Structure 1
Amino acid sequence: MDYLQYFGIDWIAMVLTFLAIWQIGNKNKVGFMLMMLGNTSWIAVGYLTGSMAMIIANIIFLTMNLRAIIKWSQPTPEPSS
């Protein structure tokens, strides 16, 4: 039963990541939230596997996605005429 080794968190992380990429491709901010949930899931998988690289990488990705949400939420300045 190797597929239960990570309690399905790896599958959840994968699905969230793909959904996030799809939503970001559709220019939908929800994609960044989904990606942050995916990053959190990947951090959990990194913890379960003992992969410090996976944990660090996904903390950085999570921070970058938070930055993207903030930047996308700011109004775009209109060019002056």
Structure 2
Amino acid sequence: MNATQWPAMVVTLLAAWLVASQNRRKRNWGFWFFMASNVLWIVWGWHAQAYALIVLQLGLLALNLRGASKNEPSVDGKSNT
């Protein structure tokens, strides 16, 4: 279980790379990869009894959900804010 931190780190770095893209589709994938990394960090945090990390990842998960929804095109063509 301790090895979970390594895939979590790799997925987090990949997500950051994708979110920085100017391509909407790549950014969207980045948010989903960030959410996967949040889950991996929560699993590792639970094993390590790192409860502050778990709370942080839950907050970041909520922000990533928001980011993914804001990345979608709006119905009226205006930017989502």
**Does TM-score exceed 0.5, indicating one fold?**
yes
Cα RMSD (Å) of the superposition? 1.5
Flag structure 2 segments of 5+ consecutive residues without an equivalent.
none
- Alignment length (residue pairs): 73
Q: Does residue 26 of structure 1 match 2:21?
A: yes
Q: Quick check: 52-61 or 69-78, which moved more?
A: 69-78
Flag structure 1 segments of 5+ consecutive residues without an equivalent.
none
| SS of the residue 1:29 aligns to | helix
**1:72, CA displacement in angstroms?**
1.0
Q: Quick check: 67-76 or 49-58, which moved more?
A: 67-76
Moved over 4 A (4+): none
Q: Quick check: 39-48 or 67-76, which moved more?
A: 67-76
TM-score for the superposition, normalised by structure 2? 0.83
